[in-house]
Amino acid sequence: MSIATRMHNGKKQWSYRCYYTDHIGKRKQKNSKWFDTKKEATKAEAQFIEDAKSSSGTKLKNVIKDYIELHKSNNKPETIEDKEYILYTYLEPLLDVKVDRIKPAMIKQILESDDIKRLSTARKNKIYIYFKGVFEHACNFYDLSRNPMRSIPSFKMTEKERMHEMTIYTPEQFQAFCDAIPEAKREYMIFFHLLFWTGLRKNEAMSLTFNDYDGKRVNIWRQLKRSSRSEFTVLKSPTSKRTVALDKATIELLNEQIDKYKGMPGYSADWFLFGGYKPLSLTSIDRVKKEAIEKSGLPYIRIHDFRHSHASYLIEKGVNMYKISKRLGHSSITITMDRYGHLLDRQEDEILDAIENG
């Protein structure tokens, strides 16, 4: 550490020079700007040294710069550009604040601003992810004790957005989808058939064993964990535990599954209805679905949309909403109404048209 002096425009000025170790362990030299008094230079030097001891005293803008630089090799140019835009634009009020001084409330205020409120949920969550990534970077490399984003929940999709994303297949479209699945993949067709005609959740159907099928209904009492083919978890809610009655066509198809597996060596009723000793893999299910969509020329559909298609069909047939709610395993009829109420509104329009044009 040393204090240097110079004459500038007839006045004496002071600056300091010191060595420090940065957040990645590299030894560096700091040459300060010039100050009008020695006291100012000495004070600034002491503050810099204190901040260098605790790298969490680094300003947010420097953490962002380092964060973007670190990920440049793994990101596409457009991703880097978007990151820079999001972080420097929306975090602008905090750029000159030291990361260890940034509180969750300060970030929450930004996320609740009008500039962000008007965006789609997908865009909001991209902002959320980049914010979280920057502060996690500060935890990993700048000694920040806790990521302030952990106290802030991500954004939930609005019901309007959820409905916009939902794809509904009619029974005729679903049959075309099934017809596009080759005979060699018939078990997958039966799996999709069960989803479409019962409204079961994907993980509920994947967890079913032959013990859970009595020839008339299936017993839903557990579900496979996500990304697992051997671990189970509790159902989404207590009301998700239910028995679901089956139509004749579905019963015939499930009986096919019994005939297929019961003659195999080591067969047990504990085997899975779909897959036998191990349940079908989600990757294979998605692949068969994708191929059938491409072959049939139908609109893209998510697996969960088979559940929505089932609910839509029941509503169209005039089934009581309470019964639909029980069949789907919703925790309350309110959830069912919130999710599918717009389909009822459509029916009301048809009734009025019939009255006025009758």
| 225 & 260 share domain | yes
What tokens appear for 356 in the block?
A: 């006025």
pLDDT at 346: 55
Number of domains in the chain: 3
**Do 119 and 67 belong to one domain?**
yes
Q: Evaluate whether 194 touches 200 at the Cβ level (below 8 Å).
A: yes
- Whether residue 310 sits in one domain with residue 174: yes
Domain membership of residue 243 as a residue range? 165-353
Whether residue 310 is found in the same domain as residue 220: yes
- Band (pLDDT 50/70/90 cuts) for residue 266 is very high
In a domain, 133, yes or no: yes
Taking the alpha carbons at both ends of the chain, their separation in whole angstroms is 94
The predicted-structure confidence for 177-192, as pLDDT tens digits, reads as follows 999 999 999 999 999 9
pLDDT-based confidence at residue 53 (cuts at 50, 70, 90): low
Structure tokens at 223: 């579900």
Is the pLDDT score of 6 beyond 80? yes
Q: What is the CATH number of the domain that holds 83?
A: 1.10.150.130
Residue 282: how many other CB atoms lie within 10 Å:
17
pLDDT at 46: 85
CA distance 22 to 54: 10
Distance of CA 230 to the CA centre of its chain: 23
Query: Is residue 321, in this structure, part of any structural domain at all?
Result: yes
**Could you say which DSSP state residue 225 is in?**
P
pLDDT band at 135 (very low <50, low <70, confident <90, very high): very high
Specify the pLDDT at position 120.
79
| 127 shares a domain with 208 | no
202-245 pLDDT, tens digit each? 999 999 999 999 999 999 998 877 555 667 787 777 888 999 99
**What band does 142 get if pLDDT is binned at 50, 70 and 90?**
confident
Task: Please state which of the ranges 43-52, 109-118, 290-299 shows the lowest mean pLDDT.
Answer: 43-52
User: 277 and 190 in one domain?
Assistant: yes
User: What are the backbone angles phi and psi of residue 21, rounded to the nearest 5°?
Assistant: -105, 125
pLDDT of residue 148: 96
Is residue 146 very low, low, confident or very high in pLDDT (cuts 50, 70, 90)? Answer: very high
| DSSP-assigned states of every residue in 241-309 | -EEEE--HHHHHHHHHHHHHHHTSTT--TTSBTTTBTSPPPHHHHHHHHHHHHHHHTPPP--THHHHHH
**Domain assignment of residue 358, yes or no:** no
Task: Work out the number of other CB atoms within 10 angstroms of the CB of residue 112.
Answer: 10
8 A C-beta contact, residue 305 and residue 166 = yes
> What whole-number distance in Å separates Cα of residue 91 and Cα of residue 78?
19
Alpha carbons 261 and 251: distance in angstroms, whole number: 16
Residues 8 and 150 in one domain: no
